[in-house]
Amino acid sequence: MNPDVALFHLLNNLTGTFLALDTIALFIVNDYAVPALFAFIVGALWFAGHAERERVVFKSGVLSTLVGLLLANLIVKLCWMTFFRPRPFAAEETVRLLFYRPSVSSFPSEPVATLMALAFGVYLFERRVGLIMLALTFAFAFTRVMAGVHYPSDVIAGALIGAGAVYAPFRYGAATNGLNARIIDLAKRFGLA
């Protein structure tokens, strides 16, 4: 058996074995709880910082994270345009489904790419908060497989796309520092920074 499919079945077989695990997984795996929390955290970091220098670092970090997020989603959409992978519940005979049946391609995982872009982006400029977000991203990826909506390779690919896409704006951010400064100045004029 394909190792990806074997690992999928191993994790998916956890569904229905422990009520507490299913309850936690249902909370984490949904499309709203963790993404909404991440959006709140990124928004809060825009306004965080004690000294002016720290506030500029946070605002520039948020802008670079958002650019990486857009890039990650573009890469996922391009992958979907060139390759379609059926969801496990559509391709496998025995799947314990703990979630609704998404209809888009299973590979790569767009929600995991999105969360990883946000989490890794925050990690690159605010380590403590970023580590918490990364842990939640890994829990989210695990529950997506456990819930029967992704194969392990789907969430791994999504995580790599998210991390790689957000790393680029930070790595080559010197080219956009002037633009970031203009955006921050414009936000200040409107009382948004």
CATH superfamily of 3-189: Phosphatidic acid phosphatase type 2/haloperoxidase (1.20.144.10)
Helix ranges restricted to H, the chain: 3-12, 19-29, 33-46, 52-82, 88-91, 110-125, 127-146, 152-171, 177-189
Instruction: Give the pLDDT of residue 116.
Output: 98
- Put simply, whether the predicted model's pTM sits higher than 0.95 gets the answer no
Task: Pick out the chain residues at pLDDT < 70.
Answer: 1, 173-181, 185-187, 191-193
Task: Count CB atoms within 10 A of the CB of residue 52.
Answer: 8
pLDDT at 169: 86
Query: Cα torsion at 51, 52, 57, 58 (round to 10°)?
Result: 70
- Residue 111: asked if its preceding bond is cis (omega within 30°), the reply is no
Whether 15 and 9 have beta carbons less than 8 Å apart is answered as no
Confidence at residue 114, expressed as pLDDT on a 0 to 100 scale: 97
Specify the pLDDT at position 1. 67
Answer yes or no: are the C-beta atoms of 20 and 131 closer than 8 Å: no
The predicted-structure confidence for 86-141, as pLDDT tens digits, reads as follows 999 888 888 998 878 888 999 999 999 999 999 999 999 999 999 999 999 999 99
Determine the pLDDT at residue 191.
Answer: 67
